[in-house]
Chain A
Amino acid sequence: MTPRRKRMVVIGLLVVGMGLATALILRAFNQNLMYFYSTSDTVAGKAPAGRDFRIGGLVVKESLQREPDGLTVRFTLTDLHQTVDVSYTGILPDLFREGQGIVANGQLGRDGVFVAREVLAKHDENYMPPEVAAALAQAKANAPPNKKVP
């Protein structure tokens, strides 16, 4: 091979390699994107089925129930307009409290219960996750004015 052809082959291989790598990266990126949905969006069926997403809202007071194993909990999330039940097995974060805003990652089950893989609460007692704050504002704006918000 002449040096020129050799160089062309090297450059060709590099281009193909870079293309493949980019395709792989973007595929992995796309598969691991998690969208955030409010409880209203979820109830309205906007959230994807069979795929992880993030849900956020306020934990409804006195909705926390514990199964006998002590580790599986069920609670209700609300954006003060619609509610979604969430179940989670494992240790809740330190700052999980009823009445507080939290975000959970997981999937929506067929029965409409969100099965959380991970529950996130903030390291600060006054904290409201920005997603939750935005979801609450959105729900408030969308709510019909005559309907009483629970």
Chain B
Amino acid sequence: MIAELGLFFLTLALALALVQAVFPVIGLARGQEIWLAYVSPAARAQFGCLLAAFAALIHAFLTNDFTLAYVAHNSNSALPWLYRVSAVWGAHEGSLLLWALILAGWTWAVSLRTNRLPADIGALVIGVMGAVSVAFLLFMLFTSNPFLRGLPAPLDGADLNPLLQDPGLIIHPPILYMGYVGLSVPFAFAIAALIRGRLTPGWARWVRPWALAAWVFLTVGIALGSWWAYYELGWGGWWFWDPVENASFMPWLLGTALIHSLAVTDKRGSFKSWTVLLAIGAFSLSLLGTFLVRSGVLTSVHAFATDPERGIFVLAILGVAVGGSLALYAWRGPSLLAGAQYSPVSRETFLLANSLLLAVATATIALGTLYPLVLDALDLGKISVGPPYFNLVFGLMMAPLAVALGLGQFSHWRADTLARLWQRTRLVAGAALVLGLVTTAVIDGPQRISAGVGLALAGWIVATSVHGLWARCAGRASWRAALAVLPGSVYGQSLAHMGFAVAIAGVCLTTALSVDRHVRMAPGDRIPLATYEFRFETLREIIGPNYKATEARFTVWREGRQVAELYPQKRLYNVRAMPMTEADILPKLSGDLYISLGESLDGQAWSVRISHKAYVRCIWLGALMMAGGGLLALCDRRYRQTVAVPALPLTATGA
């Protein structure tokens, strides 16, 4: 009964989304304002309906209603209740419902703020988001209904994929989706502006917090995914250039370009057209990500469906959204062009250069991710692109990006000269160079050069960020008072850039310094690794709620003192008869101690992976600092001030 109610609310949400998408168009075509008045209430009601549908699905999981095919495939009565809740978005149908719910949530939040926009633009923004919602709700109702009854119902469910039975996976998808879907707000705004053929003054300020919030969620979501892969997949990698990871990374890269480009548009009035294009691109890549992950073209943990009908449906959504918005851009974009002028040496130039570098980096990742899929679809052979390609190309892009980031911090808006820029940067550049050279001299191994370059760049970014703060206090009587009145966005910017530096340093150092060994060990064995000694103490069998496991006890010693006690497990999940490696990790900023069990060999011996992952935490710390910087910037009081909006007659299309 509750499930039928869920389906009812889902259908009702579709009807409301249609109202939301169609009414602004009718209202604007007829010039009747009354149609626009229904748009926001419809959006809010849609959110309510989807909340109800989502609650119904959670209820079905909590009460073990295995008559629902989706519950039967992804849950089990022995599954702990928390994982039963997260199993709601553990597979295709439920994660689509979550996607739609989050979209409705963002729309609801937007509807509270459209009073700061001209009525026509506000209604269109919500209308565009409604249209996206219509597409996804149709997709769900026609191809992936989570409330479908499967009769006869099984006595018990097929259990949630053990890989997903993990605290990290409870929050990773919702946060990532918040980011993906949040990018629909700048997108909807760009489309609304293109339809009306005008950008209202202050529009960039209105869009900025939305883009920033989406970017913060995306940053945290990607970092969580990387962290989860690191400890849960049992081999200690933190990034694989797996197509699914790339699918989330590409919108992040363009989103990063977007928030910077928006800042320039807000402050200086330049880059308008580029900003609009980035807004379209970032959300298009989010949709592409959804397509890649959900259509079954990719085979990985994330790809649930192998139903071609679904793939074609998402491809159609993608085609209409991307093709339509790009066509609209080609038609209307030029009218948005006129912006403030700037000279070739100026902060704008460096920001533009980095925007372009991010776009090119996105394109190279897209090439490596999509080319194999295209070849496969055309039956031209099966290929894959190895991680070395991504590492090399992405590294080559990030180096000039880091340089330009610092130069941008040092240079003035609008016009500057190379001579003055050199004057200001030479000390810092020299110091960064020395740091790099020292790093290269201290580290040995094949990665010493890249580690040196990475640390030099990281040092350069940190120094320029500090300089940025210092320059704002220079000339003030008291630096303390000067720091206190700086707006949140300035601190946010510094923190985020330092986070980027920390992440660069983490990536380079962990690549250069980590040591990893596969060894055969039996209880009593001792193996040295780096400055540590790993001792395999004992083995025991344990029984979990829905699995059996072999647990090993290891102690780790350094200079005659015990520094850690670790308990890696090898689990066998009862229902799916699926083995799982549970690594045990001692986290430390300077490097994690990582142990995972491989296979049981003869007697009590096991193949064991022991690693020292140097500075690996810096990667996620850097990501969190970036997200924290974004949050600080969001708190800036400028976003809370209301901007006066000029009223325009509804029929005016600007042009």
Given that A10-B344, A122-B299, A124-B161 are known contacts, is A91 also in contact with B598, CB under 8 Å in the complex?
yes
Residues of the A chain whose Cβ atoms lie less than 8 Å from the Cβ of B393: 24-25, 28-29
The segment from B1-9, B216-224, B534-542, B601-609 that touches chain A is: B601-609
Residues of the B chain whose Cβ atoms lie less than 8 Å from the Cβ of A25: 364, 367, 393
Interface of B is mostly: mixed
Residues of the B chain whose Cβ atoms lie less than 8 Å from the Cβ of A125: 576-578
Say whether B518 contacts A29, CB under 8 Å.
no
Taking a contact as CB atoms closer than 8 A, the residue among B381, B388, B576 that contacts A32 in the complex is B388
Given that A10-B344, A28-B393 are known contacts, is A129 also in contact with B360, CB under 8 Å in the complex?
no
Within 8 A of A (CB), among B24-66: none
B396 lies within 8 A of chain A by Cβ: yes
Within 8 A of B (CB), among A1-60: 10, 21, 24-25, 28-29, 31-36, 52, 54
Bound together, the chains give a CA A127 to CA B299 distance in angstroms of 10
Provide the A125-145 mask, 1 if CB < 8 A to any CB of B, else 0.
101011100100000000000
A61 lies within 8 A of chain B by Cβ: no
B309 lies within 8 A of chain A by Cβ: no
Provide the B217-242 mask, 1 if CB < 8 A to any CB of A, else 0.
00000000000000000110000000
B519 lies within 8 A of chain A by Cβ: yes
User: Which residue of chain A has its CB nearest to the CB of B388?
Assistant: A32
Say whether B520 contacts A70, CB under 8 Å.
yes
Say whether B607 contacts A71, CB under 8 Å.
yes
Say whether A36 contacts B388, CB under 8 Å.
no
A95 lies within 8 A of chain B by Cβ: yes
Q: A91-B599, A94-B581 are in contact. List 12 more A-B contacts (CB 8 A).
A: A10-B344, A25-B393, A32-B385, A34-B384, A34-B386, A36-B382, A54-B382, A71-B519, A71-B520, A91-B235, A123-B301, A125-B576
Say whether B520 contacts A69, CB under 8 Å.
yes
B142 lies within 8 A of chain A by Cβ: no
Please indicate which of the listed interface residues B383, B396, B578, B599 has the most CB atoms of chain A within 10 Å of its own CB: B599
Within 8 A of B (CB), among A97-129: 105, 122-125, 127, 129
B163 lies within 8 A of chain A by Cβ: yes
Bound together, the chains give a CA A106 to CA B396 distance in angstroms of 26
Bound together, the chains give a CA A51 to CA B301 distance in angstroms of 28
Given that A71-B519, A90-B518, A91-B599 are known contacts, is A33 also in contact with B383, CB under 8 Å in the complex?
yes
Residues of the B chain whose Cβ atoms lie less than 8 Å from the Cβ of A21: 360, 396
Residues of the A chain whose Cβ atoms lie less than 8 Å from the Cβ of B382: 35-36, 54, 131, 134
User: Which residue of chain B has its CB nearest to the CB of A32?
Assistant: B389
Say whether B299 contacts A66, CB under 8 Å.
no
Bound together, the chains give a CA A33 to CA B371 distance in angstroms of 10
8 interchain pairs, CB-CB under 8 A: A29-B385, A32-B389, A70-B605, A71-B520, A91-B607, A95-B579, A123-B161, A123-B301
Shortest CB-to-CB span from B183 to chain A, Å, is 26
User: Which residue of chain A has its CB nearest to the CB of B363?
Assistant: A25
Given that A21-B360, A32-B388, A54-B384 are known contacts, is A95 also in contact with B599, CB under 8 Å in the complex?
no
Given that A25-B393, A33-B385, A91-B607 are known contacts, is A71 also in contact with B578, CB under 8 Å in the complex?
no
B580 lies within 8 A of chain A by Cβ: yes
Given that A71-B607, A123-B161 are known contacts, is A29 also in contact with B384, CB under 8 Å in the complex?
no
Shortest CB-to-CB span from A51 to chain B, Å, is 11
Residues of the A chain whose Cβ atoms lie less than 8 Å from the Cβ of B386: 32-34, 52, 105
Q: How many A-B residue pairs have CB under 8 A?
A: 88
Say whether B383 contacts A34, CB under 8 Å.
yes
Please indicate which of the listed interface residues B161, B299, B364 has the most CB atoms of chain A within 10 Å of its own CB: B299
Taking a contact as CB atoms closer than 8 A, the residue among B368, B381, B387, B607 that contacts A29 in the complex is B368
User: Which residue of chain B has its CB nearest to the CB of A33?
Assistant: B383
Bound together, the chains give a CA A70 to CA B602 distance in angstroms of 8
B392 lies within 8 A of chain A by Cβ: yes
Given that A29-B385, A32-B389 are known contacts, is A94 also in contact with B299, CB under 8 Å in the complex?
no
Within 8 A of B (CB), among A75-93: 89-92
Given that A34-B386, A35-B382, A36-B384 are known contacts, is A28 also in contact with B392, CB under 8 Å in the complex?
yes
Bound together, the chains give a CA A36 to CA B376 distance in angstroms of 11
Given that A25-B364, A71-B519, A94-B234 are known contacts, is A31 also in contact with B389, CB under 8 Å in the complex?
yes
Within 8 A of A (CB), among B474-519: 518-519
Within 8 A of A (CB), among B559-598: 576-581, 598
Please indicate which of the listed interface residues A52, A89, A105, A130 has the most CB atoms of chain B within 10 Å of its own CB: A130
Bound together, the chains give a CA A115 to CA B599 distance in angstroms of 20
Shortest CB-to-CB span from A48 to chain B, Å, is 12
Bound together, the chains give a CA A92 to CA B581 distance in angstroms of 11
Given that A28-B392, A35-B381 are known contacts, is A94 also in contact with B344, CB under 8 Å in the complex?
no
Bound together, the chains give a CA A34 to CA B163 distance in angstroms of 28
Which 5 residue pairs of A and B lie closest in terms of their CB atoms, listed nearest first? A70-B520, A91-B598, A32-B389, A36-B382, A32-B386
Bound together, the chains give a CA A29 to CA B602 distance in angstroms of 43
Provide the B386-409 mask, 1 if CB < 8 A to any CB of A, else 0.
111100110010000000000000
Bound together, the chains give a CA A33 to CA B375 distance in angstroms of 12
Within 8 A of A (CB), among B513-561: 518-520
Please indicate which of the listed interface residues B393, B580, B601, B602 has the most CB atoms of chain A within 10 Å of its own CB: B393
Residues of the B chain whose Cβ atoms lie less than 8 Å from the Cβ of A71: 518-520, 607
Bound together, the chains give a CA A127 to CA B301 distance in angstroms of 11
Shortest CB-to-CB span from B352 to chain A, Å, is 12
Say whether B163 contacts A123, CB under 8 Å.
yes
Residues of the A chain whose Cβ atoms lie less than 8 Å from the Cβ of B384: 33-34, 36, 54
Provide the B143-154 mask, 1 if CB < 8 A to any CB of A, else 0.
000000000000
Please indicate which of the listed interface residues A34, A90, A94 has the most CB atoms of chain B within 10 Å of its own CB: A94
